[in-house]
Amino acid sequence: MHSVVSRSLKVFTTTLAAALLALSTPALAAAAPPQTACANRQVPPPPVDTSEKPAPGSQVPAPPAVPAVPAGGPRMAECGLVTPNGALNPPDGNTAASWLVQDLDTGAVIAAKDPHARQRPASLIKTLLALVVVDELKPEQVIVASKEDAEQECTCVGLVAGGQYTVDQLLHGLLMHSGNDAAHAVATALGGDAAAVAKMNATAAKIGALDTRAATPSGLDGPGMSTSAYDLSLIFHYAMKQPEFAKVVATKNFELPPAGGKPAVPVLNDNKLLGVYPGFLGGKTGFTNDARHTYVGAAERKGKRLPVVMVRAEQKPTKVVDQAAKLLDYGFALEDDRAEPVGQITYQAPGATSENGDSSALGDNGTGNSGTSSAAAAAKADPFGVTGWIITLVVFLIIVGGFVVGHARRKAAN
């Protein structure tokens, strides 16, 4: 009798342990932090100068937290090339540390390289500033340029102290020629540099740009400045939904009015693909010593609109705009082949809730691309949860085990 009961208990214990292991393994795997050697997962590369040295008495802010679930899908956590299965590699000669090509209408990520690595945006952060301007300032509002505006560290569009400019005119100078003087003027209208930066960071958080922290309105390097190719793609995707922004970045020539006895100032769009690359829709360029060259530009072909973002790129062996053009060609070729997307641009931030209380749809000015994380989708699909199923199985096996042991004892007694 003893041996029969022992064998029954052994079988029961082994079965219970195997079942618990089978159920708990996925949960443990999901909870375990990703094992990765990705460079710059938390912070950009070290600065090469003193531009990010904090003011006396201040400290460099802690880096933005790295989300447990990568925005855009699991493949967006990969470090190197992220391309569709079976797709050809991107063209040679690309110098960007990170890049991303997406579909501007669907938000599908077509291909990327180290999309969530933390980098510096340089003047691409002006896209985020422009979003705040479009949201808070009326285009016809008049701003009087100050001496401080006119004396900003350039690139500058040529504001004259005492000159009167509309917000629309300053937005053209900001985005077409990357004017730091225009950036300072609109930042002052938003409450000053600190207030403008706070509003920029609030906008980034609202739309789910979790790698991004603006440190200056213009994109000049500052303590804690951070973004990623994914975030800049998300911000540009969001910005191109705003008609005022899309119109300005597609403008090739503009003119600021005469001021202070000086003649009108011609403004030329510094994005060299505009008017050269077929179907080009506009974009933005940037450079600082720490960020190196940054770029975003979009084009339309056969009804598809694709933007490319490049960060920490170099002008050799070929110009950054030529490298960008090749990536756009590559993206259109993948679209022609109907390649499977590798990710998805979404506007979902953790805990973000719309006005009606629905956390699955973040209010985004009518973009219609709310997105939900894979973790949230899984939780919604299985509200009972892994723990609930484990408890249920344990109770079931205990009941079955009781019957097995009881049956064994009765059989042994007979």
Residues acting as catalytic residues = 123, 126, 178
The three-class DSSP label of residue 89 is coil
The DSSP string of 343-358 is EE-----TT---TTS-
> What's the rounded Cα separation, in Å, for the pair 146 and 163?
8
Integer angstrom CA distances of residue 188 from 19, 53, 137, 314, 363: 63, 23, 12, 33, 27
Of 73, 83, 155, 84, the closest CA to residue 113 belongs to 83
The three-class DSSP label of residue 138 is coil
Q: How many residues does the chain have?
A: 414
Say if CB 118 and CB 211 are below 8 A apart: yes
> What's the rounded Cα separation, in Å, for the pair 129 and 107?
22
Token pair belonging to 111: 């291909």
Say if CB 173 and CB 204 are below 8 A apart: no
